[in-house]
Amino acid sequence: MNSVLPAPASATLHRIRRIQAITIGWMSAEAVLSLSAAWMARSPVLLAFGGDSAIELLSAVVVYRRFSAKRQETSERLAARIAGGLLFVLAAYVALIAILALLGRGEVRPSLLGILVLIVAAVVMPLLARQKRRLSALTASAALRADATQSALCGYLSIIALAGLVANAFWGITWADPVAALCLIPLVMREGWQALKGRPCDCC
């Protein structure tokens, strides 16, 4: 079941390192900007999004190091476990923030900076996720697959958060975004479990 992983070609390794370096750069900026916007707007949804960005930054660094390591099989197993564990951390974090939002903790203010970051994330993150999924299929890497899931999830969360901010700003529907965020949690936990088991892809 745990056979020796195929050694990626140098061109594939270069592509993986490049896409992870782009992810690290963007997630650093995204985390700082969204958490700053969350602080200014007192927004639990932006706080959840910023927390997701920070967790994904950590995951991207782990996967980058995995494809820079010499002992590929050992580092793959460890990276997959760390990435899978981070998905569970993310699920718990989003659940906590969403529940606090539903309980009405904090008064959300409009945030132009937050909306701008969310729009960019909604465009950029699905593109990064698509590239990572292709590369994970080439390398049979569960760690890279889990990181791709986090990138895709970041895109979903950005759309949900954006919709929630708009719904709250124009129609006063304060519960829309936390409820939608809670609906994503089973998907996150499923992908985290697959990463912990070392599955490079979901076959459902």
Any idea how long the chain is?
Answer: 204
pLDDT for residue 91: 82
- Residue of 125, 101, 126 lying closest to 46 (CA atoms): 101
Tokens of 56: 């994904």
pLDDT for residue 6: 52
pLDDT for residue 92: 87
pLDDT for residue 19: 93
The confidence band for 204, taking pLDDT boundaries of 50, 70 and 90, is very low
The answer to whether position 94 is within a domain reads yes
Phi-psi category of 107—alpha, beta or left, where left has phi over 0 and alpha has psi -120 to 50?
Answer: beta
Q: What is the mean pLDDT of residues 34-51?
A: 82
**What SS3 state is found at 194?**
helix
Query: What predicted TM-score, i.e. pTM, was given to this entire model?
Result: 0.73
CATH code for position 74: 1.20.1510
The answer to whether position 3 is within a domain reads no
The answer to whether position 1 is within a domain reads no
- Residue of 134, 158, 115, 141 lying closest to 200 (CA atoms): 141
The answer to whether position 204 is within a domain reads no
In the chain, % of residues over pLDDT 70: 83
pLDDT in tens, 66-122: 888 665 555 667 777 787 788 788 788 878 877 877 786 555 677 788 889 999 999
- Residue of 159, 160, 177 lying closest to 168 (CA atoms): 177
pLDDT for residue 2: 47
The answer to whether position 2 is within a domain reads no
| Domain that includes residue 174, residue range | 10-197
pLDDT in tens, 46-67: 877 888 788 888 888 888 888 8
The confidence band for 29, taking pLDDT boundaries of 50, 70 and 90, is very high
The answer to whether position 45 is within a domain reads yes
pLDDT for residue 133: 92
- If one counts the domains in the chain, the total is 1
The answer to whether position 80 is within a domain reads yes
The answer to whether position 159 is within a domain reads yes
The confidence band for 23, taking pLDDT boundaries of 50, 70 and 90, is very high
